[in-house]
Structure 1
Amino acid sequence: MSTNQTPASRDHKHGPGETESAVKDGKSPPNHPIFDAIKSGMLVPVQTAAEDGPSVFSLRDDKGHTPAHWACLGGHTVILRFILDNKGPVDEASNNELGARPIHWACVNGHVAIVDILLQAGVSIDVVDNKGCTPLIVAAQYGHTMLAGYLMGKGARLQIVDRDGDNALHWAAFKGQNELMRLLIYSGFNPRQRDNYGQTSLHLSCINGNLTSVKELCEQDGAELDLKDKNGKTPLMLASGRKHQDVIEYLRRQIKSKNSFIPKLDLLSIAFGPPGNSKVAILFFMVNVLCWGYPMYIIKCLPYTWYDLMVLHIIFFILNIVMWFSLFHASTTDPGYLPRNVPEYDLAIKQVAHFDEWKQGENPLSRLCHTCRLVKPLRSKHCRVCNRCIKVFDHHCPYIYNCVGYKNRVTFISFVTCVGTLGPICMFLSVYTINNYMEWNWLYKLYMAIMVFFEITAGSLFIGGMWLAAVNLTTNEYLKHKKYKHLVDENGKLKYAFNQGILNNFLDYFHIKPLQEEEISDQIMITTI
């Protein structure tokens, strides 16, 4: 890839780039009705349009595409099988500059079932368009990890490159698809291979600015930091040209560490966190409490109000002890990291081509994490910040500088409960002290505003957390339930698949009586984690 090209100009355009825009604008090619019928995705209109004879499937629209192109782009398996039953062509290139075939269009949208049908019909798995792109390369361009895994399992050749010398790994790096990159490297791609412009996967990841991809290439694959492309650009120069600040800081630290004989302490990273995982939120909380809240309480409040509000002060002391213990535990405890590099992952990858679920439109690889190389259990998820898969993943919280998962969710909710309870107490003590013994000024008002901020944040987390615990959902499941078929009912609304009643849900949440696998409804179909 040329470093002078913009990302948009490098996009390899198949269906969407040339013709899908016309469809989105409501402009259909003024041709035979077969094209509009196929775009509708319904078989009956296609059958009606095909009454003119099977020859309609050999027609071209005004852009030079066949009906099979549109069936593949839309993922219409029934229509594609109908075309095959009528001896229609499913492997003809478009009559245009790119010359993409239907299988390339299927890869644009990641339709594994369509690709499976085409391969069974005799379409070559390594067929190239006029720019030298195979289905595997197209799948990488559009970030379809599962389709790439399927194609490699079916025997797609890894050595093929496009006219610019870019293979699937180069494209995955350029598009910032770090999970796909992990799968490709695991499957045999060389992260140090150069394209025609002298660029490796690290160069292209720096152009994209995906910090996780850059870190994994440097730390796991030993990518060369100072390697120049044919334009004399190093990865750091490419990242600097596009102002990817996190990547720039990371590369500079890596280069300093590499060139130094004496290990150096990165005080900025220790104090404020590494690039992409800032400690600002938790430091903001701790500085306000330790450097302002406690001194003001000890100096201004406690001496004047101890005898008047002794019980409230004792409650204040107890809640503070519980709060700091909860924060320490939630912040430092393993939230539920799942083991990496498990044998089940290797077995699943080796058997990818033999799963029958592809034919049914299902995805047997949906529970694989290609970064951690494991089969993800139910309700787990890969955290991009921690770069680990978490058991019963809830969310990544900057205020505890950790993920919230199965092992620390109890102390997390204890922490936010304490903060949410201490907020009103602190505000009452402040107002009582100022009204009776002092006068209001701008500094006290600023402190009250900060307390209100923390109270709203903690209160929202507490109320939301308790409601989710009551219905046995995680934050991730609630916010992204449309991604999980087992959490969506027949009307497309949220389905409480793990709800066992409020009492049992709370017993499960607080680890008093954990929910067993066999207690989960048999109708839950795990199709995407």
Structure 2
Amino acid sequence: MWPGVPWGSGCLVRAAHTGLSWGITVALFLHPTDLRRQEEQGELLQPLLFVSLVLCSVLLYFIVSLMDPGYVESDGDQKEAVNEEQKAMISQQVPSTVWLRRCGYCFLKQPMRAKHCQACRHCVRRYDHHCPWIENCVGERNHPLFIVYLAVQLVVLMWAMQVAWSGLNFEQSWAWLQHNALLLLSFLAIVLFTVVATLLLVSHLYLAASNTTTWEFMSRHRISYLRQCEAENPFDQGIFRNLWKFFCACRLVTWENLYSQAEGHAV
């Protein structure tokens, strides 16, 4: 169902994510936080909403982690081995000025913006990066959902931070530390994860708005189609159009055509 998904170390990473998510959630309900007080008073709306958000973030995590990020499954002449979206893409004529390179690892013809991931052992369309936290690549198919997951996760973390803080009444005593050590550790972990999630969300929204990828942004000088193009970003179509196509397009994109148009209009 999910070809090429690394199940070995991936199971450990996904188990760690799930354990941390629910472990911190349980810690917030075991200590005298706002959520615990509301639960004891029979006001269940916010506790149930918080648990639902945690569940939603975990489900999104597993979807992004396990789904096909956009694996290149065959050469352009093997149409019978690909799905309908890829058939429509292959049927479009690639501009003669654009040369498709063959991957040195899996020996498939790489569409433009694709890159071979040695961890996944696949070429990935519109490759962004291999994320060790989801143990999967972020590519053309799962990049939008990856950003949605980051946004939901950030909302959960910011809410959890406020809840954890509400249960911390600092006292300079060993007894207080013994009773609140788990909540204090949870709060510190939440702060760390909030900073990371914020940086990731902001950076990926910027990349989506400019229609570039982490790989292209970090390695422009090493990527032949960017090095040879006079346009600074041949795929940029403006912020609103970039975001619309990124989040709302339901098909794979033939980047060679867009690149050819930008190269033809380069000054």
Task: Give the corresponding residue for 1:285.
Answer: 17
Q: Is the 8 A contact 2:234 2:258 kept in 1?
A: no
Task: Give the corresponding residue for 2:206.
Answer: 467
> Structure 2 vs 1, CA of residues 513 and 333 (structure 1 numbering), >3 Å: closer, same or farther?
closer
Task: Give the corresponding residue for 2:26.
Answer: 295
Task: Give the corresponding residue for 1:329.
Answer: 63
Q: Give the alignment's TM-score, normalised by structure 1.
A: 0.39
Task: Give the corresponding residue for 2:240.
Answer: 503
Q: Is the 8 A contact 1:304 1:433 kept in 2?
A: no
Q: Matched residues, percent identical? A: 25
How far apart, CA to CA, are the structure 1 residues paired with 2:46 and 2:260?
47
Query: 1:521 offset after TM fit, Å?
Result: 4.7
Task: Give the corresponding residue for 1:178.
Answer: none
SS, match of residue 472 in structure 1? coil
SS, match of residue 215 in structure 2? helix
Query: 1:466 offset after TM fit, Å?
Result: 0.4
Whose RCO is larger (CA < 8 A, sep 6+)?
2
Task: Give the corresponding residue for 2:147.
Answer: 413
User: Is 1:403 matched with 2:127?
Assistant: no
Q: Is the 8 A contact 2:21 2:54 kept in 1?
A: no
User: Is 1:426 matched with 2:173?
Assistant: no
User: What is the root-mean-square deviation of aligned Cα atoms in Å?
Assistant: 3.4
**Greater Rg by CA:** 1
How far apart, CA to CA, are the structure 2 residues paired with 1:519 and 1:386?
28
2:28 partner amino acid: Y
1:470 partner amino acid: A
2:18 partner amino acid: M
> Structure 2 vs 1, CA of residues 513 and 497 (structure 1 numbering), >3 Å: closer, same or farther?
farther
1:477 to 216, 228, 233: 216
| Per-residue deviation, residues 441-491 of structure 1 (Å, max 9, x unmatched) | 433322222112211221111111101001001111111111124435889
Task: Give the corresponding residue for 1:49.
Answer: none
Q: Give the alignment's TM-score, normalised by structure 2.
A: 0.73
1:304 to 37, 48, 52: 37
SS, match of residue 403 in structure 1? strand
> Structure 2 vs 1, CA of residues 335 and 435 (structure 1 numbering), >3 Å: closer, same or farther?
same
Task: Give the corresponding residue for 2:197.
Answer: 458
Query: 1:334 offset after TM fit, Å?
Result: 0.9
SS, match of residue 105 in structure 2? coil
> Structure 2 vs 1, CA of residues 294 and 370 (structure 1 numbering), >3 Å: closer, same or farther?
same
Task: Give the corresponding residue for 1:373.
Answer: 107
Structure 1 gap ranges (5+): 1-268, 345-362
How far apart, CA to CA, are the structure 2 residues paired with 1:400 and 1:506?
23
How far apart, CA to CA, are the structure 2 residues paired with 1:462 and 1:505?
16
How far apart, CA to CA, are the structure 2 residues paired with 1:327 and 1:479?
25
Report the number of matched residues. 230
Task: Give the corresponding residue for 2:95.
Answer: none
The within-5 A match list for 1:121-200 is none
> Structure 2 vs 1, CA of residues 509 and 439 (structure 1 numbering), >3 Å: closer, same or farther?
farther
Q: Is the 8 A contact 2:165 2:187 kept in 1?
A: no
Query: 1:314 offset after TM fit, Å?
Result: 5.0
How far apart, CA to CA, are the structure 1 residues paired with 2:184 and 2:154?
19
Query: 1:312 offset after TM fit, Å?
Result: 4.7
